[in-house]
């Protein structure tokens, strides 16, 4: 009797696990728009906006909960009072947990929150200037997937990512640079 009850319980829960292996891959064009501030204040220090490609993978734990890994990189120009101080790259893989609403069968809005780790590399700043290589920060996002085929979706997405690094001159800290970009994206997603 006990085995029968356990078997019945497993059979009735199988449909709820049917979505446990659902994945979505998206390819987006994104604009990384830094919201720059410094502490202590260094007026005129800025980081350029850039358009870059981005790829993400979402694993659906169930029909409404997804875990997304966002991958992309950008090269930015750093300026002070409009004069170039050089360029640097950053790679900010971001992991968010999302809630997908069941608005309609074809329109699926979502919100998410998570963390990012940013790695600065290929730093080519003016002689004597450097930045810390690593940053950890939060991230929030909102977006919508709009079905255009059975498994294909138009995606619109916006994220706020908190990124900071210490700027150093001759090894001494000059200021903490908060880049904190707003990231706008449009792309195509495929669910499999």
Tens digits of per-residue pLDDT, 131-152?
Answer: 999 999 999 999 999 999 999 9
Is 15 inside a domain boundary? no
DSSP state of 177: E
Cα gap 141→85, rounded to integer Å: 31
Q: Distance between CA atoms of 183 and 20, rounded to whole angstroms?
A: 29
Domain interval for residue 142: 20-191
Specify if 165 maps to a domain: yes
Write the CATH number for 86.
Answer: 2.40.160.20
State residue 21's pLDDT score. 53
pLDDT-derived band at 103 (thresholds 50, 70, 90) equals confident
What does DSSP say about strands 45-47 and 74-80: parallel, antiparallel, or unpaired? antiparallel
Q: How far apart are CA 45 and CA 43, in angstroms?
A: 6
**How many beta carbons lie within 10 A of that of residue 83, not counting itself?**
8
Instruction: Please give the tally of structural domains in the chain.
Output: 1
Residue 8 lies in a domain: no
> Does the residue 5 lie in any domain?
no
**Distance set, CA 75 to CA 137, 159, 170 (Å):** 19, 18, 23
């Amino acid at each position: 009797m006990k085995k029968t009850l356990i078997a019945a319980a497993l059979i009735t829960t199988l449909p709820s696990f049917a979505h446990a292996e659902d994945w979505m891959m998206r390819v987006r064009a994104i604009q990384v728009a830094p919201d720059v501030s410094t502490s202590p204040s260094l007026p005129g220090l800025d980081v350029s906006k850039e358009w870059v490609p981005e790829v993400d993978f979402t694993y659906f734990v169930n029909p409404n909960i997804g875990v997304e890994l966002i991958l992309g990189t950008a090269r930015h120009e750093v300026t002070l009072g409009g004069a170039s101080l050089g360029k640097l790259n950053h790679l900010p893989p971001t992991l968010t947990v999302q809630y997908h609403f069941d608005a309609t069968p074809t329109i699926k809005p979502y919100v998410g929150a998570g963390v990012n780790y940013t790695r600065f590399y290929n730093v080519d700043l003016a002689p004597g200037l450097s930045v810390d290589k690593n940053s950890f920060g939060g991230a929030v996002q909102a977006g919508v997937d709009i079905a255009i085929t059975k498994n294909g979706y138009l995606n619109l997405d916006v994220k706020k990512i908190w990124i900071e690094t210490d700027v150093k001159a001759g090894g001494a800290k000059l200021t903490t640079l908060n880049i904190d970009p707003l990231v706008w994206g449009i792309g195509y997603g495929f669910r499999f």
